[in-house]
Structure 1
Amino acid sequence: MRPLTIGVDVGGTNLLAAVVDESGQVIDQLRSPTPSSAPALEQALERTVTELSSRHDVAAVGLAVAGFVSRDRTVVRFAPHLPWREAPVARRMSERFGLPVFLEHDANAAIWGEYRFGAASGGENVVLIAIGTGIGAALLVDGRMYRGSSGVAPELGHLPVVPDGRPCACGKRGCWERYCSGTALADTAIEMLAADPSQSTVLSREASADPGSITGRRVTAAAQDGDPLAAAVLADFSRWLGLGLAMVADLFDPDLIVIAGGVAGSAPLFLDDAREVYAQSLTGDGHRQLARVRGTQLGEEAAIIGAAEVAREALASGR
């Protein structure tokens, strides 16, 4: 039997850690808030991994990080929502845990989890689009991870789609994720209300009482309840997702695209419409094969399962 490993999704808000077996099954897990300083974060990771390893015989740890990871997967170069900058995280945490530690970008970890055990199983050229606060992405070419020359590819969420459009945290304007993300759902709702303040819907009344109540999660919930403003926001989101999928397909010509991330849980509200826009917008429509577009099978556990499998495979190969 291959050994048990721990996968940790090191997010900007929460740490989600799990013991994962060779078949990709989560057998134990812990969740805790993500501290804001590097020392506190590393202490929290140590506590979490120590607790799990005291309950199970684990051989290695994989850390899925929302940020730039060096090509050799030992250093976190930059993470916008984490305190690490040019930090040798693999070495530091290995010393704390007393176990081998392997880093991976969170979207790469998610696509590897889906490839080995979920929605991307059987795919060869696969793109994963992780839609949450922003857009993360990962790419498999002939079943192998594509990282780019410095280890940070592909940053699809920051491809500009609207010249001089909405400002983005990356410093540019009009990025795809500013129109197709959980944050974008809220921004679009606010813009639609500003354009027509006379709208009278549950969502518009909530916004009038408390503008801060409009979040991506609230918009999708209102759409499920039949709110017409929320439905219009989801229609706009679907269009941007479909246009983006066509762009992704023109760039990479994948056989499969997997939609993951926090917003993917609401896929029944938008994915069919997005597929239609995608099919209509693809260059050479009617003269090429459409990539299959699937929702995630592993959900929020994709990154931890993938990180644990990365660690298991690296350990087996002696890397």
Structure 2
Amino acid sequence: MSNQIPSSAITIGIDIGGTKILGGLVDSSGNILSATRRDTPKAGGDELYLQICEVIRELNSKSEVSGIGISCAALISADRRTVISAPNISNWNFVNLGERLERDFSLPIVVENDANAAMWAEYKFGAAKGFNPVMFFIIGTGMGGGFVVDGKLYRGAYGIGAEFGHMKVQSEGILCGCGAIGCIEQYASGSALMRYAKEGIAADPVLGQEILNLGDGSVSGLTGSILTKAAQANNQIAISAFNTCADWLGSAIASYTLLLDPAAIIIGGGVIDAGELFLTPVREAMGRYMPFADTHPAPKIIAAKFGNNAGLIGAAILVRE
């Protein structure tokens, strides 16, 4: 289906993650005109597809739309049609999402990796604008990456380029959802951050209860936003969890810098709600681990402009291109 979409038209962007589905009506300047949210069904699969369709119908009821862009936390085929593998979403492998949505809605469809979509939003309208080359890390349930060089989104030969979250950092490490062992995602993602916090709470229940009291009082009720509030209130368990996560990310950034030499690295996803509580130790760790540290400029480490909305904005823009 042709993607000739006029600049005056509205498109839908949908961001599918391990815990939530975000959808929005987006104009050609990257502005979100209306937004909605659903929880990602734990069963994934057909239940997830039905939720995606509900989001599309809700948004389409508010405005005529000319295309649908999908951002998904997954490996995506080179033709941007099929979800190949989604480590953090159940029953969501080898799903020809583009074909199914095109059949059901008769609109142009683009399916893109969530970090690539978010990278594109930040490059076109956000914190990455003007930098070349520029990297992007999206830190949510997992850890994704995007890379723009010479104004083009780098996808590689088969669509799996810039999967920065799956660099191996521990030979005897934690099993990753991708099937490999010791990926950086297992040490510098939102899931890892929560693991560090829960370990700290178990080691010091009294101090840990200060964190839990910000929620429903239980470990099962602990969320990233609660942990961020605790860190901002100077709770040392929460601060230690962020510092551990930041140390791993900073070490990875040091290695990637020598491979790709980016002018800037944009950090997005839910973890960025902590702001400089997270970014400052990331920069410090990058400096500690940087090879040839005194011989070259380090990349700028910058918070993403669009936060959790970057994926849906980027997807809505990509369907126009």
**TM-score > 0.5 by shorter chain:** yes
Show the counterpart of 2:300.
292
User: What CA distance in whole angstroms lies between the structure 1 residues aligned with 2:44 and 2:289?
Assistant: 44
Q: Counterpart of 1:256 in structure 2: which amino acid?
A: A
Show the counterpart of 1:235.
243
| C-alpha distance 246-205 of structure 1, shift in aligned 2 (>3 A) | closer
Q: Counterpart of 1:144 in structure 2: which amino acid?
A: K
Percent of residue pairs identical: 36
| C-alpha distance 161-124 of structure 1, shift in aligned 2 (>3 A) | same
2:234 is matched with which residue: 226, 250, 254? 226
Deviation string for 1:66-93 (max 9, x for gaps)?
1111101111112230533322211210
1:159 aligns with 2:177: no
Deviation string for 1:275-306 (max 9, x for gaps)?
12212322221211211110010111101110
User: What CA distance in whole angstroms lies between the structure 1 residues aligned with 2:105 and 2:68?
Assistant: 9
| C-alpha distance 29-220 of structure 1, shift in aligned 2 (>3 A) | closer
Q: Counterpart of 2:207 in structure 1: which amino acid?
A: T
Show the counterpart of 1:29.
35
Alignment size in residue pairs: 310
| C-alpha distance 164-304 of structure 1, shift in aligned 2 (>3 A) | same
2:55 is matched with which residue: 48, 57, 61? 48
State the SS of the aligned residue for 1:93: helix
State the SS of the aligned residue for 2:280: helix
Show the counterpart of 1:317.
none
Q: Is the 8 A contact 2:132 2:263 kept in 1?
A: yes
State the SS of the aligned residue for 1:230: helix
Deviates more, 1:44-53 or 1:138-147: 44-53
Show the counterpart of 2:180.
172
1:309 aligns with 2:317: yes
State the SS of the aligned residue for 2:67: strand
Q: Is the 8 A contact 2:114 2:311 kept in 1?
A: yes
User: What CA distance in whole angstroms lies between the structure 2 residues aligned with 1:168 and 1:229?
Assistant: 25
1:201 is matched with which residue: 192, 204, 207? 207
User: What CA distance in whole angstroms lies between the structure 1 residues aligned with 2:230 and 2:61?
Assistant: 44
TM superposition shift of 1:139? 1.1
| C-alpha distance 25-210 of structure 1, shift in aligned 2 (>3 A) | closer
State the SS of the aligned residue for 2:171: coil
Show the counterpart of 1:71.
78
Q: Counterpart of 1:244 in structure 2: which amino acid?
A: A
State the SS of the aligned residue for 1:185: helix
TM superposition shift of 1:53? 2.2
Q: Is the 8 A contact 1:183 1:216 kept in 2?
A: no
Deviates more, 1:31-40 or 1:94-103: 31-40
State the SS of the aligned residue for 1:137: strand
Deviation string for 1:72-130 (max 9, x for gaps)?
11111122305333222112101111211111111100000111110111112111001
User: What CA distance in whole angstroms lies between the structure 1 residues aligned with 2:138 and 2:204?
Assistant: 35
TM superposition shift of 1:18? 0.8
Q: Counterpart of 2:86 in structure 1: which amino acid?
A: A
State the SS of the aligned residue for 1:86: coil
User: What CA distance in whole angstroms lies between the structure 1 residues aligned with 2:95 and 2:160?
Assistant: 16
1:61 aligns with 2:68: yes
| C-alpha distance 229-245 of structure 1, shift in aligned 2 (>3 A) | same
2:286 is matched with which residue: 275, 278, 286? 278
Q: Counterpart of 2:18 in structure 1: which amino acid?
A: G
Show the counterpart of 2:195.
187
Show the counterpart of 1:128.
136
Show the counterpart of 2:20.
14
TM superposition shift of 1:65? 1.3
User: What CA distance in whole angstroms lies between the structure 1 residues aligned with 2:294 and 2:30?
Assistant: 38
Q: Counterpart of 1:75 in structure 2: which amino acid?
A: T
Q: Is the 8 A contact 2:144 2:164 kept in 1?
A: yes
1:113 is matched with which residue: 108, 112, 121? 121
Q: Is the 8 A contact 1:182 1:215 kept in 2?
A: no
User: What CA distance in whole angstroms lies between the structure 2 residues aligned with 1:232 and 1:78?
Assistant: 33
TM superposition shift of 1:210? 4.6
State the SS of the aligned residue for 1:178: helix
Matches within 5 A, 1:80-99: 80=87, 81-99=89-107
Show the counterpart of 1:257.
265
Q: Which runs of 5+ in 2 are unaligned?
A: 1-5
User: What CA distance in whole angstroms lies between the structure 1 residues aligned with 2:315 and 2:140?
Assistant: 19
